[in-house]
Amino acid sequence: MTQSAKEAVAIIKNLAPDFVPKVGMILGSGLGAISGQIENDIVISYSDLPNFSAHPIAGHASKLHLGILKGVPVACLEGRTHLYEGGLAIEVIKTLIRTLKLLGCETLLTTNAVGSLLADVPPGGLVLVSDQINFMFNNPLIGKNDDEFGPRFVSMDNAYDAQLRQDMLRVAQKIGIPLREGVYVACSGPTFETHAEIRAYKTLGADVVGMSTVPETIVARHCGLKVVSVSAVTNFAAGLSSEVLSHEGTLKGATLAIENLAKLFLTFLADMA
């Protein structure tokens, strides 16, 4: 939503008039600890920004952080909105991403908590998203196009920027963190997937499954942001282990990945700086 993004930027610029972020970040479920590394941190509650508000979800702090992370000026969204929240969720997602664009961001760096469809990537593992499958049966660009941000029809070639992925893989190898590429399949939630759905997604070529990220990537590509995303595996997908899936389990699983994810992101940003 163009007007909401412009109004949000006006509020942010009033609080941080000379700050121009280079990288926008979105931290997924249970992965907000990275925001604690930001220097000269200016924190703004989503409730103070128009059309930023979302229904509170455990593991999402709903705060915007502005500051320096390993030498890079960042605008960090600690918490995101999901389609399963209903109502104006899609409009909120558009406002969040377009605000980052209007602030000056060139790159969108995202995290997400996922279930693994890969037998050799257990909870605690990291997967670099190479491409996506949209099984949300929705697209945030449906409706009147906002020409101020991008064209009516958007190519999703290189949705997850090839050069940034190479850089992330190089960093992971340098610091000794296992990282493999994989395809992210997005489902709307809030239910976890059935065993049959997971078997179908494996047949389609999916490697990890989650309930976010894809709408953000679509909006980001529409307005010209480069995207790189790393998934933190919190559990095996439904039917691939004896675990009964729950949000509590997702948050617990995220703690297994946060140390390596933080090292990876911080080193990546330091190299960018």
Helix, strand, coil shares of the chain as percentages rounded to 5? 35, 25, 40
Which residues pair with residue 236 across a beta bridge?
116
Cβ-count burial of 8 within 10 angstroms (0-12 exposed, 13-18 middle, 19+ buried)? buried
Whether 183 and 132 have beta carbons less than 8 Å apart is answered as: yes
Task: Report d(CA 261, CA 179) in Å as an integer.
Answer: 10
Task: Report d(CA 96, CA 81) in Å as an integer.
Answer: 9
Which residues are tagged catalytic?
29, 60, 82, 84-85, 113, 211-212, 235, 247
Question: How many Cβ atoms from other residues are within 10 Å of residue 24's Cβ?
Answer: 27
How many angstroms from the chain centroid is the CA of residue 212? 7
Report the relative pairing of strands 72-78 and 63-69 from DSSP bridges.
antiparallel
